[in-house]
Structure 1
Amino acid sequence: MMNRSAFFIGGAWTEPAGTGVLQVVSPSTEQVVGEVPEATTADMDRAVAAAREAFDHGPWPRMAPTDRADVLDRAADLLRERTPEIAAVLVEEMGIAISQAPQQMSLVGPVFAYYADLIRTFAFDRPVLRGDLAALVTSEPVGVVAAIVPWNAPVTLAAWKVAPALAAGCTVVLKPPPESPLSNFLLAEALHEAGVPDGVINVVPGGRETGEHLVTHPGTDKVAFTGSTGAGKRIMNLCGDRIKRVSLELGGKSAAVVLDDADVATVVTGLIAQGMHNSGQVCGMQSRILIPRARYAEALDAAAAKAAQTRVGDPHDPETVVGPLVAERQRDRVESYIALATDEGGRIVTGGRRPPGLPQGWYIEPTVVADATNRMRVVREEIFGPVVCLVAYDSDDEAVTIANDSPYGLSGSVWTADDARGLAIARRIRTGSITVNRNYPPMPLTPFGGFRESGIGRELGVEGLEGYLEKRTIGVPAELAR
């Protein structure tokens, strides 16, 4: 059992105010594998007070950026060292395959190292001169950040918020998800060991009520949230009522556009493999594969073959590719969408069932939906499971129209034998990130975030740092700006 009995508040392990407990249930065995205390609003008040004190009176926001960078570099090294340990916890609490858990950790330590390097050269002060008039435009930390992360990548998405927030000089109250809270306690340990001052990082898991209390707390200055679009809308409304800074990284239903000159079988095989990562529980998953109608049969054969041979099973097995879904409710959701696909006129060509031989655990087979159209709910709505839909199109213009005809706009890709043609198509697709003949852009150097209902704001890159900074203008005598 991986039990925790205290929160990390103010640089120390702090006993909870209440008696509530969050049980961590293994998605593969359906057995309890750990417990953590469930935060009350009083616990959240203590965490915010610690972060507020550290921001208003502590050394962290007042350190030279190079000194903060040294601490972040130490954190990066410690997190790299602890990757196997954290990966093992992720397998237990969220069911990700052990073959993929270290890959999920690949943007944790490096994100801290990236922001350490960035703030050593970032222009926090910018002089402006016009004749005898002068000013300094300064970039100031926004303050106390409420960071709320989901269960599907709890440490990765915490790092995407915590690293730039700390680099900017902010302090943080991190609320891990109830389903997978254990791994972020290890993040807190690493940051504390690296020398992050007391109160700068606070880790307090809890449910929706305490999360909303954190969002609305007058002691927090910004909310950084990753999760569902529905929850994001609620948070945005709450922040709007308070004119509170907010960034949201929400859902997606991204399109992979395969052009008529591509090696269709090879590309589609790779897209199916990508779509099965973390059992399809990835916001940027390209679950709509757009295929030229003349090559649809070829693509469907390749997709069905790859999905059928993808190994489903115990996430502790190094040969497993698709582990269980995070919870029974999530499996129920995916199964309801699979049933809906056939009701809407789609055809399940492979998968769609609970795999035989796995009586325990919340598993579902990799599933390919054929004869899909952009009018279907399974094509328009985020399923968050190992389900991929193949949609036919007749021209490049129609492919662009279909790709853009979505409430979301998070990710995407274009596949072609002609890179220039691919770039021209990519420029027409309204999405926050898109690649040409590649699976991923060069993270963490580039910003990540969405258009439309996929969110507002950006994480990673220089833009990720700027999201935790406020701009201030100080008018000064000209000689001070030279």
Structure 2
Amino acid sequence: MEGLTGPRVPAVRGLVDGTWVVPDGDVSHVATDPSTGAALAEFAESSPAQVEAALAAARRAFDDDSRPVWTPAERGRALHALADRMEASAELEALLVHDVGTPVSQTRAGQVRPAVDCLRWFAEAATRGPLGGRERPLPPFAGPGGLSTSMIVREPVGVVAALTAYNYPPLLIARKLGAAIASGCTTVLLASVQGQLVASHIVELLAGLDLPAGVVNVVIGTADAGRALSSDPRVDLVSFTGSEQVGAAILAQGAPTLTKTVLELGGKSPNLVLPDAPLERLVEPVLARVHSMAGQACGANTRILVDRERYGEFVELAAKALDSVVVGPAADPSTVVGPVISAGHRRRVTGFVERSLAAGASVLAAREVGPGVPAGGHYVPVQLIEARPDSEIAQEEIFGPVGVVLPYDSVDDAVRLANGTRFALNANIWGPTSQALGLARRLRSGNVTVNGGGGMRQDVGWGGGGASGLGREGGDPGLAEYFEDKHVQWLVDG
């Protein structure tokens, strides 16, 4: 790879029962740099036989009682070691720039640090036990059969199919592998082929951690491999991060076997600006929640709700703030908004804008792509759109740096607009804390931050209802998804 930092391109390989496997499927892919369109590497998908071998290895590793026990302390040490390697890897940061398009100024804080913190949290959870321990006693119970006592035993769910998206590969992989390893499950990991070089480097970092064979298996592929995993009765849990449409397909594929499924899907999240909020101080963080990672974030707050009396003032301030936002190559330290992942995705994002303008919407403010960016890069201008609340661009997840500004006439009206989508993932409220906290309870959202919230907590779950998914990822709620509870009850002697 040629570029500013010149990282080594990792070999894209599968991992089956502790052995590296070169993918030998019929379908191949080319990894390209989103900033330039230049080819980085070509790789094949895993063949159906290799996917089958990975599933069989994961099943054996979980079911074979004759294998040495991988203790919670050993699992914790392995997760800490993986965190150490990710934290120290300059190659990981370089690949995030060139394979995913993350601006170089944001790779450490926006991509690597959250993943490292996540792995360390799961490392500690492996030794302390889930939700207070693997065995929880219950008080005595006087029933028709006599006095009895009980306990809840938490047992790992089994084989996990972990399917991750391209936008935040370190964190998404850390959440799924961290929970699986901490709980004692075995895994087959299928990362998105977009961002595959980042995922392959993370898998390389697993080498030398002395993982028992079959505990972590890796396959390469797209829909066919995902279908094979999500429909196989040997899989006990499917954990998927990605689009609403693929999530629905995964549910259908697992329905015949009633496979437990956790889906972390999309959002169309509100940025509710209260009437008394200080617009001058908050306009930049409001915009950052639209264009961070070029808008390719499921929790992006892309619906900005502003009091009608201050609507014009907000738009004026936003236009001025966008003047300082640099849209350019991810390797440039001055870049704030990098490219989207591919030419196809760029066409999808611009299609939303073009259809909305044809239907009567208008551009309120924009930051165009500079003239000096590489012609082959996948750049999209940062744009704020005025449109009807029920329009496509105000209702559908765009996954690009495009926000919709919606006026409201009262706080009650703002709450109605905030809740007016089928998604319920993430929300933010700007304004007096006491008022905002009261409104947070009225929002239909799995996560609500007030005035930007704070740092990403690893001890709480991430997820939402409606079209935003099922279950939770991360923290105690996310770890609990990797367990099944067994109730054991017995009569008290005498």
Q: TM-score, normalised by structure 2?
A: 0.92
Q: Quick check: 1:445–1:460 contact (8 Å CA) kept in 2?
A: yes
Contact 2:13–2:220 (CA<8 Å) still a contact in 1? Answer: no
Superposed CA deviations along residues 286-339 of structure 1, whole A, max 9, x for unmatched, are 000100011111111122222232101111111111111111111111111111
**Residue among 89, 93, 99 paired with 2:99:** 93
1:276–1:366 Cα contact (<8 Å) kept:
yes
CA shift in 2, pair 1:478/1:117, >3 Å: farther
Task: Tell me if structure 1 keeps the 8 A contact 2:322–2:367.
Answer: no
Mapping of residues 301-380 of structure 1, within 5 Å: 301-351=316-366, 355-358=370-373, 359-370=375-386, 372-380=387-395
Tell me how far 1:440 sits from its aligned partner.
Answer: 4.8
Give distance in 2, aligned partners of 1:303 and 1:61: 60
Cα deviation, 1:66-122, whole Å, max 9, x if unaligned, reads 33222222222222122x321211211121211112221111121111012223223
The aligned counterpart of 2:137 is 127
1:258 matched to 2:258? The reply is: no
Q: Is 1:117 matched with 2:124?
A: yes
Per mean C-alpha deviation after superposition, the further-off stretch among 312-321 and 112-121 is 112-121
Amino acid at match of 1:360: G
- SS of the equivalent of 1:161 reads helix
The one-letter code of the counterpart of 1:96 is: T
2:460 counterpart residue number:
446
**CA shift digits 1:142-164 (9 cap, x unpaired):** 11100111111122111111101
Contact 1:355 1:365 in 2 (8 A): no
Q: Distance in 2 between matches of 1:30 and 1:311?
A: 19
The aligned counterpart of 2:421 is 406
SS of residue in 2 equivalent to 1:99:
helix
CA–CA separation in structure 2 for the residues paired with 1:5 and 1:155: 16
Aligned to 1:421: 435
- Which residue does 2:216 correspond to in 1? 201
Question: How high is the sequence identity, in percent, across the aligned residues?
Answer: 33
Unaligned ranges ≥5, structure 2: 2-8, 142-146
Structure 2 distance, partners of 1:219, 1:17, is 23
Could you tell me which amino acid in structure 2 is paired with residue 437 of structure 1? Answer: N
Is this contact kept in 2: 1:146–1:214, CA < 8 A?
Answer: yes
Alignment-derived partner of residue 38 in structure 1: 45
For residues 492 and 33 of structure 2, the distance between their equivalents in structure 1, rounded to whole angstroms, comes to: 63
Residue type at the aligned position of 1:89? L
How many residues align? The count is 476
Within-5 A mapping of 1:269-308: 269-308=284-323
- Farther off after superposition, 53-62 or 273-282: 53-62
Q: Does 1:456 align with 2:462?
A: no
Equivalent AA in structure 1 for residue 135 of structure 2: D
Deviation larger for 241-250 or 59-68:
59-68
**Does the 8 A contact of 2:323 with 2:367 survive in 1?**
no
Matches within 5 A, 1:150-299: 150-299=165-314
RMSD (Å), alpha carbons: 1.9
Q: Distance in 2 between matches of 1:439 and 1:109?
A: 20
CA distance in 2, matches of 1:439, 1:275: 16
Supply the AA of the counterpart residue of 1:99.
S
Give 1:23's aligned residue: 30
- 1-structure distance, mates of 2:128, 2:12: 41
What is the deviation of 1:186? 2.1
Q: Judging changes above 3 Å, is the alpha-carbon distance between structure 1 residues 188 and 59 closer, same or farther for their aligned structure 2 residues? A: farther
User: What is the deviation of 1:62?
Assistant: 4.2
